[in-house]
Amino acid sequence: MSVDAAELNEKLHRKDIRDRWFLSAPALILIGVASVGPLLIVLLYSFLAPGNYGDVKWAFSTDGWFNVFFSRDIFDDTVSLADAHFTIFWRSIRLALATTVLCLIFGFPTAYFIATRAPQNRSIWLFLITIPFWTNMLIRAFAIQEVIRSEGLINTILIKLGIIQAPIQMLFTDFAILLGMTYVHLPLMVLPLYASLEKLDFRLIEAAYDLYASRFNVLMKVIVPLVKPGIIAGSILVFIPALSSYVIPRVLGGGKNLMIGNLIELQFGQGRNWPLGAALSVTLVVIVLFAMLYYVRNAGKNGGSAHG
Amino acid sequence: MDQSSATASHGGAIGMHGIKKWFGNFQAVNDVSLEIRSNEFFTLLGPSGCGKTTLLRMIAGFEMPSEGSIRLDGAEIAHLLPNQRPVNTVFQNYALFPHLTVSDNIGFGLKMLGKPKAEIDAVVAEMLKLVHLEARGNNLVTQLSGGQQQRVALARALAPRPKVLLLDEPLSALDLKLRKSMQIELKRLQAETGITFVFVTHDQEEALTMSDRIAVMSQGQVRQVGAPWEIYDRPAERFVADFIGETNFLDVDVVDVGADRARVRLPSGAEIPATFPAGTQPSGKVTIVIRPEHARATASTAVTPLSGTIHDIVYLGTDTHLHVRLADGSSFMIRLQNARSGPCGYSVGEEVGIEISDDVAQILRD
């Protein structure tokens, strides 16, 4: 009898584990269909030849990848590095990093403010933070355009007040892109920061003041180390979409200030070079992957040393 | 600030005058004036919500008094920020920095003061020794037990050598045995460091065990200040007598008042001497207190000032409590110390006389 019982137990245990796999199947299927699958298709396309009117020819070709890094002169076939691409990649990374830093600078006080409100009022503030999400990003980008263009709100007011004579060129500059990206991505920084700050024991701040810490040291030696998980999460959530921004640089950067997203779009649209577009997309994924690995490892290392 | 050694420095004296503190419409502290002497173990004792923690937080600088002045060694500090006062706090929940090691926690204050690393290391080592945690310096504080965290909190607050150490119910989270040993530990640290300790607690036994002097607080006011024996044996008013230990209240008439003793007539008609609070002139109907251990039960009821019927006997290990119903219907408690010879010898329903020695009754202020 007892042997039977043990056997039954064992069987039930195994069945339990199988059931759990079964329960996670929807997530696995979703990841497979929506994430891994498309990525593999993009990878496949990057090794095919471009079709005449877009699309691809089913023939193996490394031209797509070649064109990511090099450009061939159309007259004498000399090969040189694709400076334009490197420039765009580099400015994309720069702008995405700057956006992340700006979101952190503006997002931290915001999250701190919300986390220090009375508990019953916090959800109202969080709700207010999410309001911009209700409107399409394209419309918000055009709204910013309206504010900063030469005949826009800011320039008109400044000229009326006599502070400036001629309008300041803000639209179609890196400043405009940065402004737009910071505005759009700010909630993605505030929410994880808030989640961390909300768990922070504010008595630790009192303890630090009691032990002669200045305001700056309270922030740097106590608050920042303790909300590090939120800072990491927020930075990742902002950096990745910022790096692959498409709408904001298109609307606020004009045609000249391209980012990776616009470059990729160009290859799939006017450029009719899908393999190059696919190769650029994969390159972007690889950049993000390495940036994240580097960032998380470093952040973890610092945390580790602080933990002795 | 003296940084040289753990032994004998000069603790600060605190003078508080006319302190009032309002939180919106709620008055947490109502006109408190206190003198805390240098090198003293001073306890603020009272039930929760009596304003003792608010008072402590005002000394620390976390709250500003709405009115009144706080002086440290004669200098006004009420307007200073917490990081500008040579005063450190041991928090109720310890508030240790979870991201730092034990050593880094203890050295935090000195580091913030900009002391050189060699000095910080030396003080940290000394503090670890003082609280018996030499082997734990590199541990994270989250890896320590409650009692060890408590000692780290103490070491952290002592390391910058404050003039005054504030302790906000630091033992309340510990179990009874650990609490007892920490009480002795705290007393030792206070004696060794010579720092003035201001200790907040709602536990009257803790206050009596450790303090040089106690201020009993209620509803934002200080009701009585004195040495533990004064608070216990010479309570000035009903709240103090009731809050500290168990006691018997009797309504009596004052017959005669001398220099430091009065004669009072008990409801039974018997007259006994009683002490009264300094500065008062008892007359008419007053209340006296007699501690349960200062009364004795006797079999004969003829000559004793009080007598009654035992209606309850409670065995407590060290003591047995006899609850005696007096003639006027009130209950009087007598504490008998237990010998190792079986039950106390009394039984419920038995008539007993209550003997009261000459110097045990205290008249309360109205």
Q: Tell me what ipTM this predicted complex has.
A: 0.83
Query: Does residue B66 carry a pLDDT above 70?
Result: yes
Tokens 């990649």: give the residue: A89
In a domain, B122, yes or no: yes
| The pLDDT value given to residue B280 | 85
Tell me if B216 sits within 8 A of B244, measured CB to CB. Answer: yes
Domain that holds residue B252: 246-363
Confidence band of A12 (pLDDT split at 50, 70, 90): confident
Is there a single domain that holds both residue B70 and residue B209?
Answer: yes
In a domain, B239, yes or no: no
CA distance to A49, A58, A65, A216, per residue, from A46 (Å): 8, 11, 7, 50
| CATH number of the CATH domain containing B257 | 2.40.50.140
Is there a single domain that holds both residue B174 and residue B96?
Answer: yes
Shortest CA distance from A220: residue in chain B: B112
Is there a single domain that holds both residue B134 and residue B23?
Answer: yes
Is there a single domain that holds both residue B142 and residue B257?
Answer: no
Question: Chain A interface, mutation test: which of B53, B59, B112, B167, most A Cβ atoms within 10 Å?
Answer: B112
The amino acid that residue A43 corresponds to is L
Residue B33 backbone phi and psi in degrees, to 5: -125, 130
Give me the residue from B98, B140, B160 closest to A211, CB to CB: B160
Percentage with pLDDT > 90 across chain B: 70
Domain ranges of chain A: 82-306
Confidence band of A227 (pLDDT split at 50, 70, 90): very high
Q: Which of B233, B262, B277 is the last residue of a domain?
A: B233
Question: Chain A interface, mutation test: which of B64, B99, B111, most A Cβ atoms within 10 Å?
Answer: B99
Q: Which of B233, B268, B295 is the last residue of a domain?
A: B233
Q: Cα separation of A95 and B243, whole Å? A: 67
In a domain, B319, yes or no: yes
Q: How far is B208 from chain A (nearest CA, A)?
A: 28
Confidence band of B16 (pLDDT split at 50, 70, 90): very high
Shortest CA distance from B106: residue in chain A: A211
| The pLDDT value given to residue B8 | 44
In a domain, B339, yes or no: yes
Is there a single domain that holds both residue B120 and residue B214?
Answer: yes
Return the bridge partners of B27, or none.
B22
Tell me if B361 sits within 8 A of B288, measured CB to CB. Answer: yes
> What average pLDDT does this structure show over A152-157?
90
CA distance to A6, A273, B291, B333, B360, per residue, from B249 (Å): 68, 99, 9, 10, 12
Cross-chain Cβ contact A208/B99 below 8 Å:
no
- What percent of the residues of chain A are helix, what percent strand, and what percent coil, each to the nearest 5? 75, 5, 20
Among B25, B352, B32, smallest CA distance to B216 is for B32
Tell me if B156 sits within 8 A of A211, measured CB to CB. Answer: yes
Note whether B104 contacts A: Cβ–Cβ < 8 A.
yes
CB contacts < 8 A, A to B, total 70
Note whether A204 contacts B: Cβ–Cβ < 8 A.
yes
| The pLDDT value given to residue A280 | 94
Give me the residue from A207, A214, A308 closest to B91, CB to CB: A207
What is the number of other CB atoms lying within 10 angstroms of the CB of residue A226? 20
The amino acid that residue B326 corresponds to is L
Using an 8 Å CB-CB cutoff, list chain B residues near A216. none
Cross-chain Cβ contact A207/B89 below 8 Å:
yes
Residue B15 backbone phi and psi in degrees, to 5: -120, 120
Note whether A200 contacts B: Cβ–Cβ < 8 A.
no
Tell me if B203 sits within 8 A of B331, measured CB to CB. Answer: no
Return the bridge partners of B309, or none.
B325, B351
Q: How far is A102 from chain B (nearest CA, A)?
A: 26
| The pLDDT value given to residue A2 | 56
Is there a single domain that holds both residue B146 and residue B191?
Answer: yes
| The pLDDT value given to residue B9 | 54
Is there a single domain that holds both residue B285 and residue B309?
Answer: yes
In a domain, B6, yes or no: no
Confidence band of A306 (pLDDT split at 50, 70, 90): very low
Using an 8 Å CB-CB cutoff, list chain B residues near A220. none
Q: How far is A305 from chain B (nearest CA, A)?
A: 10
Using an 8 Å CB-CB cutoff, list chain A residues near B93. 201, 203
Q: Which of B233, B257, B286 is the last residue of a domain?
A: B233
| The pLDDT value given to residue A301 | 56
When divided into structural domains, chain B yields a total of: 2
Is there a single domain that holds both residue B227 and residue B257?
Answer: no
Note whether A222 contacts B: Cβ–Cβ < 8 A.
yes
| CATH number of the CATH domain containing B200 | 3.40.50.300
Residue A205: its H or E element: helix A203-210
Give me the residue from A201, A214, A222 closest to B83, CB to CB: A214
Greater confidence, B167 or B359? B167
In a domain, B91, yes or no: yes
Q: Cα separation of B165 and B154, whole Å? A: 9
Q: Which CATH number is correct for A82-306, 1.10.3720.10, 1.10.15.40, 1.20.1250.20, 3.40.50.300?
A: 1.10.3720.10
In a domain, B218, yes or no: yes
Is there a single domain that holds both residue B97 and residue B220?
Answer: yes
Is there a single domain that holds both residue B206 and residue B259?
Answer: no
In a domain, B8, yes or no: no
